[in-house]
Amino acid sequence: MPEEFFSNLKTFIKPQWKTAFLSALIIGFLCHTFVFTNILPNHDSLVNMHSPQLKGDSGRFFLSPFSGISSYFDLPWINGILSILYLSLTAVILTELFELKKTFSIFAISSLLMTFPTVASTFSYIFTADGYMFGTLLTVTALLMTKKYKYGFILGSIFFYMGVGVYQANFPFLSTLILVFLITEIIGRKITYLQLRSYLLRFFALGATGMGLYVINFKLYTRIFAGNMTSYQGLDSAGKNSNSISEYFNQITDSFMHFFFRGFITDLPINLFEWLNVALFVLIALGFVLIMIQNRCFTHIAMASFAFFLLLLLPLSAYILYFISVDVNYHMLMVLALVSFYMLPVLFYEHLSIPTIFAKCFSWLAVATIFATIFNFALISNIAYLNMELKYEKSTAFVNRLISRVEQTEGVTSESKLALIGRVQLGSSLSTETVPESIPKMTGPLGDSIIPLPYHYNAMMRDYFGITYQFISEQQREEIAASDWFVEMEPWPSPNAIRVINDIVVVKLQK
């Protein structure tokens, strides 16, 4: 009976799981409710009000079925609830993976996962966010199964294959979590060489089998089913790298430093984000040394050296996709793996048990830094959402003005075609300078417009204003843009920015 099932389930659930789930759930809604309760589309959302998310040409073979759980409509509240649910379950699995016992550790891991900027970037694509969060859940589930069961990697590899089939960035996410897990097991729990070997073999089997299944799927799609891979992020050139090792390291170093220390290495302002990251890496160094001293890991030179080696491998693991395709361009949607760095001080805090003065100082510094980081992540997310609202309002206001001008232009008929050439400038110092200087580079939320190209105008006019125009082809646009009479036209908002030629309404935007 259902009552008996739920009664038994209640006794099965550990208190730590409840803490993780509720922490993630509450923090998730506190941080992200604004984007769930408002229509804040970005440029992709405009053309995906209803979309089956068939992304086989992007290698995301499982995105469609998992996005379909919430229907294929852009439903911010439903997609948001499911996304929070999936991430809350992910927090539970991480709690079990690392065997967390301390309340702060559980709260911190759950909150860091839920507020990390990658999540806010993903929520700017809310029409498909739940599918991506389900892929994250599958990935960490695969890791837990592999850790707990001797042959768990068999089923785990299938879960991992599906996770990567939702989004390829789940590969570096998994590999980085594996390194963090091994580091804390070696120096925190002092596992034996045999235990370490067992973990290494199982994790290697998980990664190799899961990625092997994905490669087979990739080859079947491109060769047997004659699917064409998009050139986006170098997918069509995957496995054809010709870079030298030094070039890979330069790419990784540049991306790593730009994420954590942008204000220190560029002309942009140094924000609280960068200062907290400085504190983060100080805590990682201190925590690593304190755990080594507490557990007398220096008496096992080989294991201690291996743990240190794994620590140095973390940046390479987080940016491992650089080794797969030369044209990969890491952006905020792809760097969830970097949350592992923020987890390290929390895990060191979890394993510190001897109350020395240094351990107490580290613990208080870790608590203060992690709380400040979580709060700062929440601020970053909501500043991003503010910019999303501003650029949506500006874009809809402009399209409204554009439609009005076109309708009042002499010679426009119901059969007229529309030619929009150039891009309108909707920027203000707030959206073009203040916001980008105040938060990390957030893919999706930043920018000053959600209508960069004609098909975006077409979608907004059709779905938001109920106006349907037939747009000219790209070749016609290029021909008009090269004509002498178009060059002589004044750009928007001039009264002469619109001209009707051969029943084509030509609008010259600002650039």
Q: What percent of the chain has pLDDT over 90?
A: 76
| Per-residue model confidence (pLDDT) at position 61 | 92
Q: 203, 191, 218, 208: which is closest to 55 by C-alpha? A: 218
Say which range, 202-211, 283-292, 372-381, 477-486, has the weakest mean pLDDT.
477-486
**Whole-angstrom distance, CA of residue 258 vs CA of residue 261:** 6
**How large is the angle between the packed helices 76-97 and 103-115, nearest 10 degrees?**
140
Mean predicted confidence (pLDDT) in 102-121: 98
On the question of pLDDT at 361 being above 90, the answer is yes
pLDDT band at 230 (very low <50, low <70, confident <90, very high): low
3-state SS class at 225? coil
**Whole-angstrom distance, CA of residue 457 vs CA of residue 154:** 48
On the question of pLDDT at 347 being above 80, the answer is yes
On the question of pLDDT at 147 being above 60, the answer is yes
| Per-residue model confidence (pLDDT) at position 180 | 98
| Per-residue model confidence (pLDDT) at position 430 | 92
Mean predicted confidence (pLDDT) in 459-482: 91
On the question of pLDDT at 412 being above 80, the answer is yes
**Helix boundaries (H) for 299-356:** 301-318, 339-351
pLDDT band at 231 (very low <50, low <70, confident <90, very high): low
| Per-residue model confidence (pLDDT) at position 240 | 58
pTM assigned to the model: 0.94
pLDDT band at 333 (very low <50, low <70, confident <90, very high): very high
What is the per-residue pLDDT across 272-325, written as a single tens digit (0 to 9) for each?
999 999 999 999 999 999 999 998 887 789 999 999 999 999 999 999 998 887
| Per-residue model confidence (pLDDT) at position 12 | 81
On the question of pLDDT at 163 being above 70, the answer is yes
| Per-residue model confidence (pLDDT) at position 165 | 95
Average pLDDT for the chain: 92
Classify residue 416 as exposed, middle or buried by CB count within 10 Å of its CB (0-12, 13-18, 19+): middle
